[in-house]
A and B are shown apart, each in its own frame.
Chain A
């Protein structure tokens, strides 16, 4: 069983070594600052980022579809009074991992937002999974780039496995979603008057500074993710090309790709959760005082 897991990992590592040794040999250090652009209806899109985002969304769908079909199958059998085999009930490996993740985030949102946890749980876990898979995209080598076209350039140079979060537009977009949800739910809970009043806290004079503080919160949320991922990617490129014969690039990828990527995805979703909790603190506290139980039907 264990061998099955290790073979693709070893293949990936070998491919990475080969690529770094061949690809960085004469090209020196190059950091991409310009993106290949698609223009649709006069709006230009970063082609690579868009493709990678679609790929990430597609990967996100897979476990949901597989597990969903399985559960649906069992339910169908039950409703038609067919015999359900034991093997239908036993969760597969994919299902166990997914359930672990879902339960972890469910506990997290419930312990932070109390009775309102379920409302924000889908957003928080989607943010985490999306950013996490995005950050993992960088560890796959762009193997087709070893092939050179007749004019000496790498084949399909603009298309590479890069983290979409490396493009500033993606973290800023995610940040806007979080800001929209936080402020939207504040307006919904407290009304426009109560929402505007929260900016005049503790005294009216601090209104502009509170507004700037809110904007700064968003900026730090987006730039923390962007800076970490871009920084890690640049470190991998530069250090790999400097010491390609001595240090194996997979080590760098393991730290800056897998480890930092996971932590930053978790930090982003945690901060989104906490900003919501702080914005709704008054409502959550009153819920707690009234000892409002968790409404099981909502679950």
Chain B
């Protein structure tokens, strides 16, 4: 057993700091979005003061849950005992990285949904409750990536990875980086989809069923990159290889970076495809089936770069010896 002592605590507290620091960043920006359009809406429509205020507060509460997840992990990390060995210490650091980076995207994205709901409420205050319900559904889907990150963080904290060897440390760090970076893109992307769908509801309330359908479909497909990132992190967590090989340490870490960073672009891109589709449906509801087909095709092609990243990550994990 390797004695870690103060260095273990150092890594643990570093993880806690990263978790709440980065996790708060996204939610902070996102809540600002809601407030921005809430204030704008009240200045245009002072009569709808109550409705807009309610929407703004609930939207901000939904946005804040991303940072609350980060806070939970940070508090656990602060009060948990000193790690017993080097692997455990790095697992704590990695848990912090995962939830911190994960909160960045989901907080930002949920804020976009809240912003659109405030705008819609200012436009048609009578249907405020419809916008609120749809916004909460949209935000719930936006938060799926950070829930994936939360699951990985909890596994990293509460599962035991005994020993202190380079390959396990690389795999643990890689797992955290993969899901952390990987959930940024889908968080922002799904938020963009929700933004234009809810904006469209504000313009054409009678099309809210159609818009909800296209929003959910677009968001579900936009989460593919995050699912790839989660797949890579689980494989890294459970691969169970041990040893002190520098090359394989770097290979594991590099697999995490490749998949994590590789999921950012496709996540945002397929989200923006869904955003365009929502805009299109709100302009011309009759064209919904054609738009939906174009959206699915565009998203599928936009995600091909994330499949390349998945292939590279697999090669780095399984082929490099």
Q: Which residues of A contact B (CB under 8 A)?
A: 29, 31, 108, 216-217, 219-220, 223-224, 227-228, 230-232, 234-235, 238-239, 242, 255, 259-260, 263, 266-267, 270-271, 274
Contact = CB atoms under 8 A, between A and B. Distances in A.
B224 interface: yes
B293 A270 contact: yes
A270 B231 contact: no
B224 A228 contact: yes
Contacts of A31: 234, 238
B266 to A, nearest CB: 10
A68 to B, nearest CB: 30
A120 B297 CA distance: 18
A224 B307 contact: yes
Interface of B: 148, 151, 154-155, 217, 220-221, 224, 227-228, 230-231, 234, 238, 293, 296-297, 300-301, 303-304, 307-308, 310-311
Nearest to B231: A231
B301 to A, nearest CB: 8
List the 8 closest A-B pairs by CB distance, nearest first.
A220-B304, A231-B227, A231-B231, A220-B307, A223-B307, A267-B300, A227-B228, A234-B234
A220 B308 contact: yes
A255 B301 CA distance: 22
Given A231-B227, A239-B151, A270-B300, A223 B311 contact: yes
A219 B303 contact: no
Contacts of B227: 227-228, 231-232, 235, 260
Contacts of A239: 151
A219 B314 CA distance: 13
29 contacts: A29-B238, A31-B234, A108-B293, A217-B304, A219-B307, A219-B311, A223-B307, A223-B310, A224-B303, A224-B304, A227-B228, A227-B310, A228-B228, A231-B230, A234-B231, A235-B227, A238-B151, A239-B151, A260-B220, A263-B217, A263-B221, A267-B221, A267-B296, A267-B300, A270-B293, A270-B297, A271-B300, A271-B301, A274-B297
A238 B310 contact: no
Contacts of B155: 238, 242
A270 B304 contact: no
Contacts of A216: 304, 308
Given A223-B310, A231-B227, A242-B154, 11 more contacts: A219-B307, A220-B304, A227-B227, A232-B227, A234-B234, A235-B148, A238-B234, A242-B155, A260-B220, A263-B220, A271-B297
Contacts of B217: 263
A230 B311 CA distance: 14
A153 to B, nearest CB: 19
Nearest to B314: A223
Nearest to B305: A220
